[in-house]
Structure 1
Amino acid sequence: MEFRPHIAPEIFALRPDFMALSIFVEGVTNTASTDFSGALLAQACGDLASAPWHDAHLAAWRDAYRTFGAKPQRTPCSAEALRKRCERDGRVPETNAVVDLYNAISIRYAIPVGGEDASAYVGQPQLVRATGDESFDTTADGQPKMETVDKGEVVWRDKRGVTCRRWNWRQGTRTRITEASTSLWFVLERLEPMPVEALLNAGKNLVEGLEAMGPAKGAGFVLLDADNPDGRLHF
């Protein structure tokens, strides 16, 4: 299965320093949350200062949100939302083993991490500015709900609709990773001043965690930036 994300030029016009690490893995056996995945979450929540760039990186994401009209104090990036929950509650609720893992990586490195069921995609993922007529499936009060995104909003989407709103704020229900998911796509999103080496280490730690959970078919790493919006750099 080919899985190659694309980042539109207008995204780099907003943030030339944006960089994304794309990781595609097949043959994963996901499960309900385990002692291992729960411990990863607890350890990450217990050491929020482990990434010395965390304050500056989250501030950079707040600035990035403002460039397309979002209000980060109301809708923070996913990494900031997770860390705020750790500060408020002392923990992040467990979801399933894989989601626990990538949430722990996000908290530990203060970086937005998206995890998606690749088999639910129609075509390839694209990071674009919305036209304003795209659909987004979510829930409200526990019931399915279809929204229309704001024009100019930064969104991840496929041919069917938006899969993540406001760059990395809220994921849609259609592509969420469940215990039945076996083909997985992850995207780790970095701005200055987070070191590129830290971005790569976060990706390696994510794959190591998946391997600790069970066998999977080799992970494919692709780095996307302003010079390589289609991820021509492989490592």
Structure 2
Amino acid sequence: MFTLKVSEEVRKACPDYVGAAIYAKVTNSAHSEGLWKIIGEVSAQYKASHQIDEVKKNQHILATRNAYKKFGKDPNRYRPSAEALCRRILRDLPLYRIDTLVDLINLVSIQTGYSIGGFDAGKISGNELELGVGKADEPFEGIGRGILNIEGLPVIRDAVGGIGTPTSDNERTKLSVETTELLAIINGYSGREGLTEAVDYMQSLLREFAGSDGGEVVYF
């Protein structure tokens, strides 16, 4: 497991923040029919019970949006990933089909409202990670987004630089079908409430669909 820290800048602005890191040995796959059956059911239930203007009222999405505002970022231009996924469902846009690990993480985000970073642990530089705030002109290549302006976004950094924000993770450490070591970070800007349940849910999905024992969990 990695050593994880929260910078003073983030701690001062977001004193309620609690992160949960799950490190797990996994077997990834290009597609899981069983997982997508669950995703389809959850998406249908979500669409039937929500309106699009309600998405940002979810306590975890709202807390992440408020963190963006505190750091000077417009959450309507740089939406947290959980919010973006839920909005896709309500707009009748198909969810992305990437691979089993990414799809699994997206399912947890839809169910809970947490924006979750998913990283290939073997591609992370060093053993220490810190949650800070993106700086002007800080290099960051978002997955499928090209160069992303992360100034004012919360960002997880390794020894080389940023690897993940609640809006997008970095190409450098992205998951692939070849990934055998997963590091998932659940960003709890709303505090501890609901975080343990999200961790338990992700671990159960990892056991069922990714050949894992659920992995090791650290709160920070």
The aligned counterpart of 1:155 is 155
Once residues 183 and 3 of structure 1 are traced to their aligned partners in structure 2, the CA distance between those partners, rounded to angstroms, is 12
The AA in structure 1 aligned to 2:120 is D
Give per-residue Cα distances to partners, 1:178-202, cap 9 Å, x unaligned.
Answer: 100001001111233x762x21111
Unaligned runs of 5+ in 2: none
Q: Equivalent residue of 1:125, what SS?
A: strand
Distance change (3 Å), C-alpha of 1:147 and 1:200 = closer
Kindly indicate whether the alpha-carbon contact (under 8 Å) linking 1:112 and 1:189 is maintained by their aligned counterparts in 2.
Answer: yes
| Structure (1 or 2) with the greater strand fraction | 1
The AA in structure 1 aligned to 2:130 is Q
Kindly indicate whether the alpha-carbon contact (under 8 Å) linking 1:23 and 1:222 is maintained by their aligned counterparts in 2.
Answer: yes
The aligned counterpart of 1:32 is 30
Aligned residue pairs total 213
> Mean alpha-carbon deviation: is it higher for 34-43 or for 78-87?
34-43
Kindly indicate whether the alpha-carbon contact (under 8 Å) linking 2:143 and 2:168 is maintained by their aligned counterparts in 1.
Answer: no
The AA in structure 2 aligned to 1:10 is E
Q: Equivalent residue of 1:185, what SS?
A: strand
Distance change (3 Å), C-alpha of 1:153 and 1:39 = same
| Structure (1 or 2) with the greater helix fraction | 2
Once residues 218 and 188 of structure 2 are traced to their aligned partners in structure 1, the CA distance between those partners, rounded to angstroms, is 14
Shift of 1:54: 5.7
Kindly indicate whether the alpha-carbon contact (under 8 Å) linking 1:34 and 1:97 is maintained by their aligned counterparts in 2.
Answer: yes
The aligned counterpart of 1:209 is 205
TM-score, normalised to structure 2, is 0.86
The aligned counterpart of 1:120 is 123
Distance change (3 Å), C-alpha of 1:216 and 1:10 = same
Residues 6-25 of structure 1 correspond to what in structure 2 (within 5 A)?
A: 6-25=5-24
Distance change (3 Å), C-alpha of 1:212 and 1:218 = closer
TM-score, normalised to structure 1, is 0.81
The AA in structure 2 aligned to 1:138 is G
Give per-residue Cα distances to partners, 1:199-224, cap 9 Å, x unaligned.
Answer: 11111111111111253356111111
Shift of 1:107: 0.1
Query: Which runs of 4 or more aligned residues in structure 1 lie more than 6 Å from their structure 2 counterparts after TM superposition?
Result: none
Once residues 59 and 207 of structure 2 are traced to their aligned partners in structure 1, the CA distance between those partners, rounded to angstroms, is 31
